């Protein structure tokens, strides 16, 4: 006892220093020892980012880390500190608006997180204390508490299963919220515990919290009557994870081992990395150009001011004070430079960031509202998790897709099997032996069958080698046997049938994989029915309607490395059998080789036809072999360190020298319109890569069915099979193959015009590339660094010149590595990953845009995606219509913002040449403040939400239109320079046109002259009307909202100018410079004439361009008709 305690204290041989000790029910163990409660974290979950106290400082700090916000803060501080020509309000108010809107948005999102946390933490749970069942809040649970959970409830923390209401000591859970798998998983109670947990005296030693959902190592010490404690091993099968749901079990009791932020769910929670779109990068580049223009203007004006002052005496009305004369000359020049920076700072559009945020946020609702994305089967539509990437949907160049559940339906159906080299297909008439219909045996053995003994052995293997459970039923066993052939239920979800006894509850199968249910149902067709597991006894009904019972000794669980699973069973006669099933590549090396060739031909043919295949083998174990395996398994399961490695070694030792019986073929059908969707995406210039964990032959047939590979496609294969040909080392063979494929696909390929894909290529010869996980590992991690870099480059160049790429036998991490490799390649192409399962999460997070499919493998992919859609076919409209329109809208928004701000500030710059560089503002402070916030913001926001330059039907019908906007085509420097030149032209027209008007000083009927504020007001009026009408000319898709905001903004400007010019209240009197200026201006006919002429002159080139421009393609003139606003009604407009 003392040695055990010292070992626990100082680590011992198992490194227990890294473990924790938990006292079950907070009882001292052994009972005569003092109980010192260990300190663990409580069960509160905190996913929120802010608190009431730190929201303001933390949020402001984060916002001012953005360069634009920090820049405007500096400008505002300069206006406050230095004597500048404009009021601090002019830059302070827009900045305050931007900061406030963003803070409100982020505060609201965090409030929702607080609300969700509160719901979880205040959820009432049942805890057993001193034999009493009490209710307490989930947040109050402590490590060591015994928690009671009822059916369909969620586990409030990580629990070790102690007791279950089921007789066999098991319970079923679903972990869809954790790993995305919606299938039922079986968990087991710790063996041989007291029935009344009040008298249980035990401790649990387990590893410290770590995020791996599938790993748990621990052991339980059970104390009874001062004896040495019994030790039980604990593994993942005993651990119930927080967030999982209890199913098909009335009640369980478990002890809390990890709570709060130490649960595996909390450790797996990580905020998705911030993804930035290409548009944001373009905005930053354009911003630098305009910042350079701003600094240049300030430097020019500062220099010319001192040049002008050197040539002219100080005017008598503006003599310098003594203090100004004593000021350091360089300091004065610096403050003048800052003053000019403040005067011209409106060239940088701070409000553009708010408008872009609002456009993305509001625009994302159109995806969620689209009725075409609604799926009646699951009664759900599209989901937007990230609105920051809407425009990126219009720039995708590479699509990485999963196969199972994405290209296919993940709906498994047993098709056929092969026993001893003879192919069996199920006949429609019977489920007895006659149901075996041999259609295609080995050569010259047509219509032959394997022996009856081998057939029955194979079917027993299908009935015993699995983790399938029977869902609880109220039927009697005999009724179940009579009616079992009528059952068709997967994962506990029943299908309506006409039963002989309708009131009785239906029985169904529960399993962790739909493949297993398909195989059990396949055995049922041929007369062998699995009846369930009761107290470690598996029962099956054979062809003769006799019930066979097998004692389940051990389950050697499936894992992705071995790609096999096995069971050890003991028959009534005492024979011990090992049944094993797994992928052919993992099974063939483990069986006697004389059996392999008879089965291989059928496996490869089934895989070519697109079926998922599994091989089945068995082995007789004598008493000595079983005793050794049993001892090794028990020892490995008790280990706290390296348990998985030790178990793997035992599994591999036991699963050798097996006898191969046969193989199975299960079909997974294609998704609706999968082929049409792939064709449209390829027509749009996107390259599709399929990344799957399936075998090559199955995945290759799926690619053919989807149209990714055509009959004339030459396949370049880089797999273990091709690497082992030729008798050379794999490394040498890899080098030779890469060079050979590179010469064929890259060097010898005729040059193809940029953007042209297979259908439009003149070459007429297509290549497809196939690689498996093992070969990819060699490419990515070669023994020498130079070789590795070279292999990556060759691999990438080959793939980029192929029409489609298939990567099979991929681990989830390898999927992410592939995406990262392409994402970081030359040109930084925009990548999109689409998948439906937890194994796709890594590549979804890695790609620029991640799409989750709401499939049958749970919602982990959906939760981690940027966008979620019910079916693969919806990807076509999401990219070709929504993505295209979002990109065009936001590109126009960005260019327009820079254009209208250049128009706005250029006259201010030119005005300095006529006022002695005195920093005199041309516009009133109210106009400076309101220009971007009120007068010109709403029309461009409406345009960026509603514009359809080409109607959606045309975009979907002609996928090649997607190429017109590829490679960020609408935000290139050529177009940017065009908009900049247009802004300069309009600024020159506004300023010099009004100056020409002012060459006649008497502009009013009474002979009075206009002053400088009248000059600025006329320029500003022409400016507001011109930039707004320019947007009206660009609009192709008019709705009532466009009309309202465009004409409403102009009317508001006129109304505001009249109103502002009439205010003489005391608070505004100090800043009132426009008293009746606007009204007086409009009383002049000359002013009216100049305003109208200048607007027409500014817009004339644009009008001529629209009228005279010839369409550049068959669809360039296609424009959308006026439709209702909401995308919900797009299909109803006719």
Q: Which active-site residues does the annotation give?
A: 402
DSSP category for residue 275: P
3-class DSSP state for residue 487?
Answer: coil
Taken in order 235, 240, 244, 248, the sign of the CA dihedral is positive
Task: Say if residue 295 is exposed, middle or buried (CB neighbours under 10 Å; 0-12, 13-18, 19+).
Answer: middle
Q: Are 1013 and 1073 in contact (CB under 8 A)?
A: yes
d(CA 123, CA 643): 36
863 CB-near residues (< 8 Å, 6+ apart): 177, 180, 385, 852
Cα separation of 153 and 902, whole Å? 61
- Contact of 838 with 862, CB cutoff 8 Å: no
858: left (phi over 0), alpha (psi -120 to 50) or beta: left
CB atoms within 10 A of CB 645: 10
Residue 444, phi-psi category: left (phi > 0), alpha (psi -120 to 50), beta (remainder): left
Q: Any residues with CB less than 8 A from the CB of 412 and at least 6 apart, and which?
A: 514, 515, 517, 518, 612, 666, 667, 668
Distance of CA 940 to the CA centre of its chain: 30
Q: Please state, in angstroms and rounded to a whole number, the distance separating the CA atoms of residues 1077 and 1061.
A: 6
The answer to whether the beta carbons of residues 350 and 72 sit under 8 Å apart is yes
623-626: long-range contacts, CB 8 A cutoff, minimum separation 24: 623/576, 626/553, 626/568, 626/576
Cα–Cα distance, 912 to 921 (Å, whole number): 9
CA dihedral 154, 159, 163, 167 (to 10 degrees): 60
At 145, is the secondary structure helix, strand, or coil?
A: coil
- Please state, in angstroms and rounded to a whole number, the distance separating the CA atoms of residues 494 and 608: 32
Fill in the DSSP letter of residue 301. Answer: H
Whole-number Å distance between alpha carbons of 704 and 714: 12
User: Residues 804, 768: contact at Cβ < 8 Å?
Assistant: yes
Residue 664 dihedral angles phi and psi, to the nearest 5°: -120, 155
Element (H, E) at 581: strand 576-582
Three-class SS of residue 21? strand
Q: How many helices (H) and strands (E) does the chain have?
A: 37, 34
Q: What is the DSSP letter of 709?
A: S
Smallest CA-to-CA distance from 244 within 1098, 1041, 866, 860 is with 860
**Cβ burial, residue 1075 (10 Å; 0-12/13-18/19+):** middle
DSSP 50: -
Q: 892 and 970 in contact (C-beta within 8 Å)?
A: yes
Q: Which tokens sit at 179? A: 């790993």
Six token digits for residue 551: 């004692």
Tokens encoding 452 = 């009856």
Q: Cβ of 911: how many Cβ atoms within 10 Å?
A: 22
Structure tokens given for 639:
């280990």
Nearest to 924 by CA among 1053, 801, 807, 818: 1053
Q: Which residues, at least 6 apart from 321, have a Cβ–Cβ distance to it below 8 Å? A: none
């Amino acid at each position: 006892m003392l040695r055990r305690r010292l070992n626990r204290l100082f680590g011992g041989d198992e490194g227990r220093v890294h473990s924790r000790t938990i006292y079950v029910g907070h009882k001292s163990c052994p009972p005569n020892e003092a109980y010192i409660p260990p300190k663990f974290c409580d069960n509160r979950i905190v996913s929120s980012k802010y608190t009431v106290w730190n929201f303001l400082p933390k949020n402001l700090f984060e916002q001012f880390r953005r360069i634009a916000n920090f820049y405007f803060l500096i400008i505002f501080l300069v206006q406050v500190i230095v004597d500048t020509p404009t009021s601090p309000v002019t830059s302070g108010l827009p900045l305050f608006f931007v900061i406030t809107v963003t803070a409100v948005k982020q505060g609201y999102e965090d409030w929702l997180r607080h609300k969700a946390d509160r719901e979880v933490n205040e959820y009432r749970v049942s805890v057993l204390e001193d034999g009493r069942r009490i209710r307490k809040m989930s947040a109050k649970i402590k490590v060591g508490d015994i928690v009671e959970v009822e059916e369909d409830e969620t586990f409030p923390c990580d629990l070790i299963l102690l007791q279950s209401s089921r007789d066999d000591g098991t319970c079923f859970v679903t972990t869809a919220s954790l790993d995305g798998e919606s299938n039922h998983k079986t968990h087991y109670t710790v063996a041989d515990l007291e029935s009344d947990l009040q008298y249980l005296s035990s401790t649990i030693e387990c590893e410290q919290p770590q995020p791996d959902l599938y790993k748990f190592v621990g052991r339980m010490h059970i104390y009874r009557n001062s004896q040495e404690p019994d030790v039980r091993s604990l593994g993942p099968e005993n651990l119930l994870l927080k967030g999982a749901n209890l199913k098909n079990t009335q009640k369980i009791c478990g002890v809390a081992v990890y709570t709060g932020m130490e649960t595996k769910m909390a450790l797996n929670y990580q905020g998705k990395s911030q993804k930035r779109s290409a548009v944001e990068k373009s905005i930053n580049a354009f911003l630098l150009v305009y910042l350079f223009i701003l600094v240049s203007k300030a430097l020019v004006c500062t220099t010319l001011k001192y040049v002008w002052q050197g040539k002219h005496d100080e005017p008598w009305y503006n003599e310098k004070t003594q203090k100004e004369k004593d000021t350091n000359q360089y300091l004065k020049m610096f403050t003048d430079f800052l003053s000019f920076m403040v005067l011209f700072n409106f060239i940088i559009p701070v409000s553009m960031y708010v408008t872009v945020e609002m456009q993305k946020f509001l625009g994302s609702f159109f995806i969620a509202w689209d009725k075409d994305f609604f799926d009646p089967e699951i009664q759900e539509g599209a989901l937007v998790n990230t609105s920051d990437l809407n425009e990126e949907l219009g720039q995708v160049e590479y699509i990485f897709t999963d196969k199972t559940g994405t290209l296919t339906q993940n709906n498994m159906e047993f098709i056929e099997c092969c026993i001893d080299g003879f192919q069996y297909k199920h006949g429609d008439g019977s489920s007895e032996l006659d149901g075996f219909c041999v259609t295609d045996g080995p050569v010259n053995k047509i219509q032959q069958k394997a022996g009856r003994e081998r057939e029955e052995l194979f079917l027993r293997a299908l009935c015993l080698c699995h983790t399938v459970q029977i869902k609880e039923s109220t039927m009697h066993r005999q009724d179940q046997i009579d009616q079992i052939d009528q059952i068709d239920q997967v994962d506990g979800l029943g299908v309506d049938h006409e039963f002989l006894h309708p009131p009785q509850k239906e029985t169904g199968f529960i399993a962790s994989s739909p493949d297993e249910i398909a195989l059990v149902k396949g055995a049922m067709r041929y007369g062998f029915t699995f009846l369930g597991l009761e107290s470690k006894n598996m029962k099956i009904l054979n062809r003769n309607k006799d019930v066979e019972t097998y004692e389940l000794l051990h389950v050697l669980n499936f894992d992705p490395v071995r790609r096999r699973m096995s069971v050890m069973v003991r028959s009534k006669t005492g024979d011990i059998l090992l049944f094993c099933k797994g992928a052919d590549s993992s099974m063939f090396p483990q069986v006697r080789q004389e059996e392999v060739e008879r089965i291989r031909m059928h496996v490869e043919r089934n895989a070519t036809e697109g079926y998922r295949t599994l091989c089945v083998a068995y082995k007789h174990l004598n008493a000595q072999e079983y005793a050794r395996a049993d001892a090794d398994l028990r020892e490995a399961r008790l280990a706290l360190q390296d348990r998985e490695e030790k178990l793997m070694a035992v599994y591999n030792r036991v699963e050798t020298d097996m006898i191969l019986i046969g193989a199975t073929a299960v079909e997974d059908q294609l998704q609706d319109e999968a082929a049409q969707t792939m064709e449209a995406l390829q027509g749009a210039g996107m390259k599709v890569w399929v990344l799957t964990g399936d075998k090559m032959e199955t995945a290759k047939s799926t690619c053919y069915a989807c149209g990714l590979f055509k009959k004339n496609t030459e396949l370049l294969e880089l797999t273990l099979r091709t690497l082992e040909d030729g008798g050379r080392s794999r490394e040498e063979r890899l080098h030779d193959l890469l060079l050979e494929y590179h010469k064929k696909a890259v060097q010898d390929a005729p040059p193809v015009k940029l953007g042209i894909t297979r259908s439009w290529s003149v070459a007429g010869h297509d290549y497809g590339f196939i690689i498996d996980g093992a070969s990819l590992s060699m490419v990515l991690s070669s023994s020498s660094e130079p070789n590795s870099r070279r292999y990556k480059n060759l691999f990438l160049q080959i793939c980029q010149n192929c029409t489609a790429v298939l990567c099979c036998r991929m681990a989830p991490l390898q999927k992410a590595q592939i995406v990262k490799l392409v994402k970081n390649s030359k040109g930084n192409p925009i990548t999109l990953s689409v998948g439906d399962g937890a194994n796709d999460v890594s590549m979804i997070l890695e790609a620029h845009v991640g799409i989750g499919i709401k499939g049958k493998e749970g919602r982990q992919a959906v939760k981690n995606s940027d966008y979620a859609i019910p079916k693969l076919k919806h990807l076509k409209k999401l990219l070709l219509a929504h993505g295209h329109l979002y990109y065009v809208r936001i590109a126009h928004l960005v260019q327009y913002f820079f254009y209208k701000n250049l128009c706005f500030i250029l006259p201010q710059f030119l005005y300095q040449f006529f006022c002695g560089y005195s920093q005199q503002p041309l516009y009133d402070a109210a106009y400076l403040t309101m220009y971007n916030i009120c007068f010109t913001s709403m029309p461009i926001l409406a345009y960026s939400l509603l514009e359809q330059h080409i109607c959606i039907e045309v975009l979907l019908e002609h996928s090649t239109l997607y190429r017109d906007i590829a490679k960020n085509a609408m935000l290139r420097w050529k177009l940017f320079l065009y908009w900049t030149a247009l802004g300069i032209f309009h600024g020159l027209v506004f300023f010099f046109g009004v100056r020409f008007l002012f060459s006649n000083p008497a502009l009013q009927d009474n002979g009075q002259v206009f002053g400088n504020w009248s000059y600025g007001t006329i320029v500003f009026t022409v400016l507001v009307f011109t930039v707004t009408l320019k947007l009206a000319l660009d609009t192709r898709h008019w709705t009532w909202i466009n009309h309202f905001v465009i004409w409403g903004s102009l009317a508001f400007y006129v109304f505001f100018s009249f109103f502002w010019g009439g205010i003489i209240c005391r608070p505004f009197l100090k800043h009132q410079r426009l008293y009746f200026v606007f009204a007086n201006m409009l009383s002049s006919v000359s002013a009216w004439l100049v305003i109208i002429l200048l607007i027409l002159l500014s817009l004339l080139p644009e009008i001529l361009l629209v009228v005279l421009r010839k369409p550049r393609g068959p669809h360039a003139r296609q424009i959308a008709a006026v439709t209702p606003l909401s995308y919900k009604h797009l299909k109803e407009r006719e």
